[in-house]
């Protein structure tokens, strides 16, 4: 029943050769270059964020190294009226949706203002409690259905998240009510130290869709073209009243779980280096070089411009002053309850 696509489906092989037919958008050099830049920018951001954390200037950070294509491909298929509900590892998608680099730094630097972000104002901030974004996405979808906005809710979570009840409850309801949701699982094969084989006996995470009676698709998450193509189909299905879809994007977490983690404790280097061969940036660059004559100069210019953007944003973040002390009570409710204001004063904060 209901296998949207099994595979994982991919368009480009690891060397960047076209394996199947290219979807329309992927024939356009500019479009491909935009996806490529988004992935490079994400990786540069990642590198800088880790460096800032290591030097005590950023909080604990979750790197998305190796998973950039999932995030970018998912977001690039979305439209303005859609709503993104990312986990904590979807920097690429957030950037694509208009969150600025400075806002991402602020969030990871421990400042709530990073979540009062530019771009798509109805998008959710990164979700920290694993899998809780899935039922919320069903709620957003219910609202959009009621309002007739034609929007689709897109929650993204990890492989570990699919062990939680929230994930099943949300998929089940989205199925029962034919809600416009595309559930995306960025399967990086690890949940901190727990490998996928210890997480579930399911052959494919996309098969978990069967329990909810919705289609599940499986895509090579290191192939941004394939990710976007499958997303577009699922989004179209949702938009035309066809209901929810589950997409499993198979990728690999090349870095530690977070800057507070040391993955050498539980996985060997050989496994990691093997996966470096399949990483998404090299693949798209090879394709650009082979099919579109992407030059060395273009590559250098792009890398430099991404680096400059990241450096400028990091400086702007580091130069951002603290919020005033009152900010801890000002945003809890629309208007501060008397009791809270009084207690704040009494406790000697002011």
Partner 1 sequence: MNELTLVEAVRLALARALEDDPRVILLGEDIGVNGGVFRATDGLAARFGADRVRDTPLAETAIAGIAVGAAAHGLRPVAEIQFMGFLYPALDQLANHAARLRNRTRGRLSCPMVLRAPFGGGIHAPEHHSESFEAMLAHVPGLRVVVPSSPARAYGLLLAAIRDPDPVVFLEPKRLYRSVREEVADDGAALPLDRALILSAGDDVTLVTWGAMVQEAREAVERMATEGVLVDLIDLCSLKPIDRATIRRSVAKTGRCVVLHEAPLTAGLGAEIAADLAEHCLTDLLAPIRRVAPPDVVIPYPRLEDQYMPTAGQVVGAIREVMEFS
Ligand X SMILES: Cc1ncc(C[n+]2csc(CCOP(=O)(O)OP(=O)(O)O)c2C)c(N)n1
Instruction: Return the one option of ligand X, partner 1, Mg ion, none that residue 89 interacts with (CB less than 5 to 8 A, by type).
Output: ligand X
338 binds partner 1 (CB under 8 A): yes
For ligand X, the binding residue among 15, 28, 29, 128 (CB under 6 A) is 128
Helices (H), the chain: 29-54, 68-77, 91-96, 101-108, 133-147, 165-176, 196-199, 224-239, 269-276, 280-292, 296-318, 327-330, 338-346
Q: Known catalytic residue: 3?
A: no
191 touching Mg ion, by CB under 5 A: yes
Shortest gap between Cβ of 90 and Mg ion (angstroms)? 12
165 binds partner 1 (CB under 8 A): yes
Q: Which of 64, 188, 206, 259 binds Mg ion (CB under 5 A)?
A: 188
The owner of tokens 């208009």 is 98
Q: Indicate whether 65 belongs to the interface with ligand X (CB under 6 A).
A: no
Which of 43, 257, 283, 287 is labelled catalytic?
Answer: 257
Q: Give the active site residue among 266, 304, 331, 349.
A: 266
| N-term to C-term CA, the chain | 62
Residues 6+ apart with CB under 8 A from 78: 84, 97, 152, 154, 231, 235
Residues 141-170 that bind Mg ion (CB under 5 A): 158-159
- The CA-atom distances, in angstroms, between 301 and each of 37, 119, 297, 306, 309 are 11, 26, 6, 9, 12
Neighbours of 219 (CB within 10 A): 32
Distances, alpha carbon 144 to alpha carbons 45, 147, 156, 171, 175, in Å: 32, 5, 18, 17, 16
Nearer to partner 1, 118 or 268 (CB): 118
- Least distance between partner 1 and beta carbon 325 (Å): 15
184 part of the interface to partner 1, by CB under 8 A: no
> Would you count residue 85 as binding ligand X (CB under 6 A)?
no
For residue 21 the two structure tokens come to 């037919």
- Residue entry with tokens 């699982």: 185
Contact 96/79 with Cβ under 8 angstroms? no
CB 238 within 8 A of CB 45: no
Task: Say whether residue 188 binds ligand X (CB under 6 A).
Answer: yes
Find the radius of gyration of the CA atoms of the chain: 21
Known catalytic residue at 257: yes
Q: Which does 6 bind (CB under 5 to 8 A by kind): partner 1, ligand X, Mg ion, none?
A: none
CB of 110 to partner 1, least distance (A): 12
Helix (H) or strand (E) segment spanning residue 182: strand 182-187
The binding site for ligand X (CB under 6 A) comprises: 89, 128-130, 157-161, 188, 190-192, 253, 257
Active site residues: 253, 257, 266
The binding site for partner 1 (CB under 8 A) comprises: 83, 85, 112-113, 115-117, 121-122, 124-125, 128-129, 132, 134-144, 146-147, 153, 165-166, 169-170, 172-173, 176, 327, 331-334, 337-340, 342
The binding site for Mg ion (CB under 5 A) comprises: 158-159, 188, 191
């Amino acid at each position: 029943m209901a296998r949207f696509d099994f595979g994982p489906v991919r368009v480009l092989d690891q060397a960047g050769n076209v394996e199947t037919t290219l979807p329309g958008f992927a024939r356009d050099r500019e479009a491909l270059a935009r996806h490529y830049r988004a992935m490079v920018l994400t990786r540069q951001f990642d590198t800088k964020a880790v460096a800032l954390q290591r030097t005590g200037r950023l909080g604990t950070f979750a790197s998305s190294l190796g998973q950039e294509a999932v995030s970018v491909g998912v977001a690039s298929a979305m439209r303005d009226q859609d709503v993104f509900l990312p986990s904590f590892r979807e920097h690429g998608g957030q950037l694509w949706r208009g969150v600025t680099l400075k806002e991402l730094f602020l969030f990871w630097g421990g400042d709530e203002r990073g979540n009062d972000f530019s771009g798509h104002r109805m998008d959710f901030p990164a979700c920290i409690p694993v899998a809780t974004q899935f039922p919320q996405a069903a709620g957003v979808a219910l609202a959009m259905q009621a309002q007739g906005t034609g929007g689709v809710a897109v929650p993204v979570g990890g492989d570990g998240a699919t062990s939680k009840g929230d994930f099943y409850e949300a998929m089940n309801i989205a199925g029962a009510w034919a809600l416009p949701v595309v559930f995306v699982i960025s399967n990086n094969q690890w949940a901190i130290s727990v490998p996928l084989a210890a997480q579930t006996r399911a052959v494919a995470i996309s098969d978990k869709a069967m329990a909810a009676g919705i289609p599940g698709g499986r895509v090579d998450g290191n192939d941004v073209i394939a990710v976007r193509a499958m997303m577009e189909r699922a989004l179209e299905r949702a938009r035309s009243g066809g209901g929810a879809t589950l997409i499993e994007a198979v990728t690999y977490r090349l870095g530690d779980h977070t800057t507070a983690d040391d993955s050498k404790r539980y996985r060997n280097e050989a496994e990691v280096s093997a996966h470096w061969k399949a990483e998404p940036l090299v693949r798209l660059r090879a394709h650009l070089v082979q099919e579109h004559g992407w030059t060395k100069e273009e590559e250098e210019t792009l890398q430099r411009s991404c680096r400059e953007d990241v450096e400028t944003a990091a400086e702007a973040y580091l130069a951002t002053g603290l919020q005033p002390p009152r900010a801890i009570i000002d945003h809890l409710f629309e208007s501060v309850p008397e009791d809270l204001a009084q207690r704040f004063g009494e406790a000697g904060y002011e």
